[in-house]
Chains A and B, each alone.
Chain A
Amino acid sequence: MLFNGVRAAAIQGRGKITVLGGREEREQTMAVSLRESVQRVSDPRNLDASVEEVFRLMLGIECKRDAGPANVESESVTAVVGFGGMLSGACVFRSGARTALKIAAQMTGMEFETVDDTVKDGIGEICNMLAGGWKGKVPELAANCGLSVPAVITGRDYNLHVQAPEFQLHHIYRFDDQTFEVTIVCDGIQ
């Protein structure tokens, strides 16, 4: 997968880790590689923690991983935020339209009847925070992996297909009677 628009500024300083320690600032430059840390990067608990944090802090919702299956709605909303730099891939959020409306309402304090631009914007921002939160759990990724701006897809009866990723996490989460899916797809790692 190729995602355009990954922030160049966000991936500047690749291969460089800066450690701030009290008043003193020391900078270490080292060859950073995630190749030997795939297990750490793909730890499913990082994704669960990121989802729970975003929903608790931004929506005031306690949401938990669920064994599934996810609720099926014909109309769905998918948001995609691309990763670039040390890890390439994407964070994908997908829910039915009713769940998306509920999330947007909780974010904004407004009621929505259709998936309009505000709802799409809100779901894109949720995906952005999930992607940022997930990569932030691994310090090397936080500093050396940039995020694209979110893309949001709406429609009926479509599937997302990724060809042979390096690894993939696919989790279903539940709050109240709503479910949504979050997928981390990694198709390249340095």
Chain B
Amino acid sequence: MGEIRALIVDDSSVMRKIVERALRQAGLDQLVVHEAGSGAEGIEVLKAMPVDLILSDINMPIMDGLEFLRQIRAQNLAQGVPVVMITTESSEEHVKQAIQSGAQGYIRKPFTAEQVKERVLPLVRGA
């Protein structure tokens, strides 16, 4: 697999590093990571550079993950780029909202590197 440009959106810098580590463990060794601490920052990153994969938390200050998803779809940013939500919110209602907002995958925190591999790699391969 060639170079993958991933945008990781989470208000926790520690969690961004953990997600990056899990992606590398999943086999994405040629990974270029861009980080954002909120949905609003994520929008700015997407306006500035193309990415191949987006992983986003839901509960964040300033702009939460669901609004971030709606905004990138409304502004035609990252068209065709798979989005995976990684969040502590695990109810079916939250999963449904995420899918309706345009997410292709959903991973509940806490997660294992294996879960990241199972849910992210097929989306990257299919991108």
Contact = CB atoms under 8 A, between A and B. Distances in A.
B12 interface: yes
Contacts of B97: 9, 13
Contact of B64 (A7, A17, A131): A7
Contact count band on A: 35 or more
A96 interface: no
Nearest to A109: B21
Given A132-B109, A149-B61, A121 B93 contact: no
30 contacts: A7-B58, A7-B64, A13-B97, A18-B92, A18-B96, A20-B95, A20-B96, A54-B110, A57-B111, A58-B111, A107-B18, A108-B14, A109-B21, A121-B12, A121-B13, A124-B12, A125-B14, A128-B88, A128-B109, A129-B88, A132-B88, A132-B89, A132-B90, A133-B110, A142-B89, A142-B91, A143-B93, A147-B59, A147-B88, A147-B89
Interface of A: 5, 7, 9-10, 13, 16-20, 53-54, 57-58, 104, 107-109, 118, 121-122, 124-125, 128-129, 131-133, 136, 139, 142-143, 146-147, 149
